[in-house]
A and B are shown apart, each in its own frame.
Chain A
């Protein structure tokens, strides 16, 4: 089925470790996004990508790295995880621009001990 898939769904790791969250979409949407969701803050944009090899920072990019070598994949890497990065991470995609309706993956719940 077409859609947007995130993996893993749950991840527990330790402070200082590198973690990569995967996002794959089958719609061939140009735009992809990474958000984190924390109580009291709602959804906050980490990074987004307008096309393959084009990425840009969002509201809270520090500590995160993204890449987009293929249109369908948009992995998010925490290079050295910190406890403050414990959160639920959502990947989303949209067909055209940053301001178009977005469709979300099921999320990754990440705990950093």
Chain B
């Protein structure tokens, strides 16, 4: 099982609707969770991070974290064509007692907003 899993998509959402992106992770000890947006041919850009269970809102973006179920999601309200990109979920994992934690990236979900 991969440490961080995302549906590769493409996820097609009509303009103005809510886009829902999901990510599951395997390390129960994970404490830090990130969402990055990556446009084609560009570098990943941090859009949200969340550390506590529940919801965190920033403009049209809401990150939701459920540690008991080991998933983190990203909601994009009022989707715009400019939101069309690949969204990468990244999760902190702890390899072991004596090893430093590190961030593992999922393979990303391709989101397409149709006009």
* CB-nearest residue of chain A to B107: A42
Chain B: interface residue count, which band? 10 to 19
| Interface membership of A85, Cβ < 8 A | no
Q: How far is the CB of A90 from chain B (nearest CB, A)?
A: 6
Contact residues of A between 34 and 72, Cβ < 8 Å to B:
35, 40-45, 48, 50, 56, 58
| Interface membership of A102, Cβ < 8 A | yes
| Interface membership of A84, Cβ < 8 A | no
- Decide: B44 and A43 in contact? CB cutoff 8 A: yes
Supposing A98-B102, A99-B32, A101-B34 touch, asked if A40 and B42 sit within 8 A by C-beta, the answer is no
Annotate B24-61 by CB proximity to A: 1 below 8 A, 0 otherwise. 00000001101000000011111001000000000000
Q: How far is the CB of A94 from chain B (nearest CB, A)?
A: 9
* CB-nearest residue of chain B to A90: B43
B residues less than 8 Å from A56 (CB atoms): 100
| Interface membership of A104, Cβ < 8 A | yes
| Interface membership of A29, Cβ < 8 A | no
Partner of A40, one of B32, B103, B107: B107
| Interface membership of B71, Cβ < 8 A | no
| Interface membership of A75, Cβ < 8 A | no
Chain A interface residues (CB < 8 Å from chain B): 35, 40-45, 48, 50, 56, 58, 90, 97-107
